[in-house]
Structure 1
Amino acid sequence: MRASSLARCPATARTGARRGRGPALPSRALRDGDAHAAYVRDAANARAPPELASVLRVLEAQGMTLVEPRARRGIHPLVVPLAVDPVEGVTIGLYVKGEEDCASVVRVAGEGRHLELLGRNASEYVHRAIVEEEWRSDETETVVAAAAGAVGVSLHNHGAFKTSGKEFDVYVTTQIGKFPSSMEGLVRRHLKRDDVQSALITCDLYKSTFGEWGSSHAFVADLYNDLGRGEEARDAARNALQTPWATVGGDKTIKRMLDLAGWSGKTVTEIKEVLETRRGPNAAAFDGPKSEKQLAREEAELLLDQVAAGEIESATVNQRLAECYMKAGNSTLAKFVMCGSGSPA
């Protein structure tokens, strides 16, 4: 992809400034979501969630500092930043995976290399934030609920959590939706009651719901390891390392999965070669030779996994990553990646 394609990237949805040179928008100008929605539309060819403005105001109410969508330097190349936690230094953003919609809310940590799923969509994220405030403050605070505005009112009746009599993770899972943190909380709840069977059943539900996220498999691998079930821990760890490595967890979690999988010391490339070999000698005969598009997709996955593993710097891969997406026939992601190249901090 030629560098000239950057000229088609949006600068700032609120100003006519040239890309990277316009004045930073004040936080209050970002609350209505227009700047982020326009960026998602123009850079990712995606539709921003209708609750985006509520998400931004909720993040601000939670103590975050809103940031411009073009401030993508140093974070995962497939994320549109929404806000930064000034205490922890992590970024909250929307995860762009190439679909028409851009809805998943994620936390970006580990120098921009690792992703944690906070909500499958904006609505669930807002709803959970309101209930969490009600839970933690025993109904005495409504800052987050007020920030959510009409969207919040449509999602939750104040006091409904307390009157339900349910534990937080149970209420969230049954009344709002499934979240990795709450699924893990339910597993721990069963373990505290020495109900291992129910814990493992919940783990199966966790994996079936969030199977594309390595963190679900990593959690299960750790549980099996704690239970002394080594072979199952190994298999779960290997499953984790077959998902995008950015979703597995932090550096310590990735190292732990490598150890449990029996792949300690291997590079990302070496592990992918092992997995390819395990397809069997006749795989090519059944599947046919890999197309140029498939090879390009696999190279893009390799690059992102190498970034997550800390083998290469994210700032060095954007050009090649965009080229891979172009060869794979995904010009939308190619443009989105290039729009993040050289973005202001």
Structure 2
Amino acid sequence: MKISGGVLCGGGARSNAVPLFLSRRISSLHISSSSSISDHVSFVKDVAATQPPQHLSQLLAILKTRGDTIISPGAKQGLIPLAIPLSQNSSGAVTALLRWPTAPPKLEMPVVEVRKHGVWLLAKTVDQYIHRILVEEDAKNSQERNEELFNASADAGEKLYRKGDFAESGISNLDGYLLKEVGIFPDVLERKVKRHFEEGDQVSALVTGEFYAKKEHFPGFARPFVFNAEVMLRVGRKVEAKDAARGALKSPWWTLGCMYQDVANIAQWDDEQIEYIKEKVTEEGRQEDLKKGKAPAQVVLDEAAFLLDLASIEGNWDDYLEQIAKCYEEAELNDVAKFILYKS
């Protein structure tokens, strides 16, 4: 059963373990070759009703230079409605910004990869993602390196990374440099754990898995807890794996980084969680919460979060848009409601 707690960036009640502030291929996207970089800045400001990241234009230029196709920011059909599409690569993966519904004004939007069942965190900020891309490009040999990418980064690149720093650092492992000099990233930490297992070092794998799942590292995201559950399961700690999986399911299900059922299996839950949430989004469930003294605005924010959870199970986001938007309207978050319903 879900444990009520503070208001998350996602807009609903979750465990107190999460702080307040807070198929990979997507088909039928509207890819607009005429969509200019300035369109995204305007969209973030005027439609998503939030502050555009300072170096968003530079990130878009970098994505375009590395071969991605820039997508119209309003091409949200079929995607999780909290995403602001940026680009699509040759394999069909979509890079986007994540617009938390109830995030504090100064919290920058993270960069994510959009997947059928939700999102995968690429970087906690646009600057961090630009920094990572530049380091990874600089780590390539001179024949493979795309010098135009550094030019595309313009002043952001000059501010964030000096070409040659990776080679001069003496750190031979690219992932090691990223963790030490750029920031922590889910895929990098997961690779580190897998390397420890390959080397037969279970202790280091467990320590890194626990580090990954520390509350303060990726607030609002369930993926670290899911991965930690998988690590526990791999070393035969079934009870701890079950607890970690249940902890993951207290965060938004669209941040699990995998299908809901994969985590529910580790948590040893059948359909009771889904049935519980379905009850919470009925009128009876709403009235029950109000009778318990929960503030009306919090009740509808919780309902919006639960609806996003339900939509993530099948990835059928568009079926829930009207209901989700109505919840935000009732919570007097009209800008968020309009963003949710926006269609280009």
TM over 0.5: yes
Residue 165 in 1 paired to residue 170 in 2? yes
Distance apart, 1:42 and its partner CA: 0.8
Aligned counterparts of 2:148 and 2:141: Cα–Cα separation in 1 = 11
Q: Residues of 2 paired with 1:205 and 1:92: CA distance?
A: 26
* Match of residue 10 from structure 1: none
1:26 aligns with 2:30: no
Q: Aligned match of 2:84 in 61, 80, 83?
A: 80
**CA deviation string 1:189-228 (max 9, x = no partner):** 4334433333323223212212421111111111101000
1:216 lines up with 2:224 in the alignment: yes
2:93 counterpart of 1:93:
no
Query: Partner letter of residue 127 of structure 1?
Result: H
Letter in 2 for 1:84: Q
Deviation digits for residues 247-273 of structure 1 (CA, Å, limit 9, x no counterpart): 10233xx22211110113446233687
**Hey, what does 1:6 align to over in structure 2?**
none
Partner residue, 1:248: 256
> In 2, Cα distance between the equivalents of 1:74 and 1:182?
28
| 2-structure distance, mates of 1:148, 1:39 | 21
Where does residue 283 of structure 2 map in the other structure? none
Quick one: structure 1 residues 256 and 26, their matched pair in 2 at CA, closer, same or farther if it must change by over 3 Å?
closer
Aligned residues: 299
Q: Is 2:160 the counterpart of 1:155?
A: yes
1:104–1:151 distance in 2 versus 1, CA, 3 Å: same
Does structure 2 retain, via aligned residues, the 8 Å contact 1:263–1:271? no
Aligned-partner residue type, residue 315 of structure 1: D
Contact conserved, 2:226 with 2:245, CA < 8 A, in 1?
Answer: yes
Contiguous gaps of at least 5 residues in structure 2 = 1-29, 281-288
Partner SS, residue 77 of structure 1: coil
Provide the residue aligned with 2:246 in structure 1: 238
Give me the TM-score of the superposition, normalised by structure 1: 0.79
The residue type equivalent to 1:199 in the other structure is A
**AA in 1 matched with 2:99:** V
- Distance (whole Å) between structure 1 residues aligned to residue 144 and residue 156 of structure 2: 20
Question: How far does the alpha carbon of each residue in 1:230-251 deviate from its partner, in whole angstroms, 9 at most, with x for none?
Answer: 0011011111111111110233
User: For residues 223-302 of structure 1, what are the structure 2 equivalents within 5 Å?
Assistant: 223-251=231-259, 254-266=260-272, 268-270=274-276, 288-302=292-306
Question: Displacement of 1:25 after TM fit?
Answer: 5.7
The residue that corresponds to 1:314 in the other structure is 317
Going by fraction, where is helix more abundant, 1 or 2?
Answer: 1
TM-score by length of 2: 0.80
* Deviation per residue, 1:77-114 (Å, 9 max, x gap): 011111112x322221110013335521111122xx32
RMSD, matched Cα: 2.5
Q: In the TM superposition, what is the alpha-carbon distance from 1:157 to its structure 2 partner?
A: 1.6
Alignment CA distance shift 1:149-1:294 (3 Å): same
- Choose the corresponding residue for 2:192, options 175, 186, 192: 186
Q: Which runs of 5+ in 1 are unaligned?
A: 1-22, 275-283
Percent of aligned pairs sharing the same letter: 30
**Per-residue deviation, 1:324:** 0.6
Structure 1 CA distance for aligned equivalents of residues 118 and 175 of structure 2: 24
1:177 aligns with 2:183: yes
SS at match of 2:47: helix
Is 2:44 aligned against 1:40? yes
CA distance in 2, matches of 1:272, 1:138: 55
Question: What SS does the aligned partner of 2:54 have?
Answer: coil
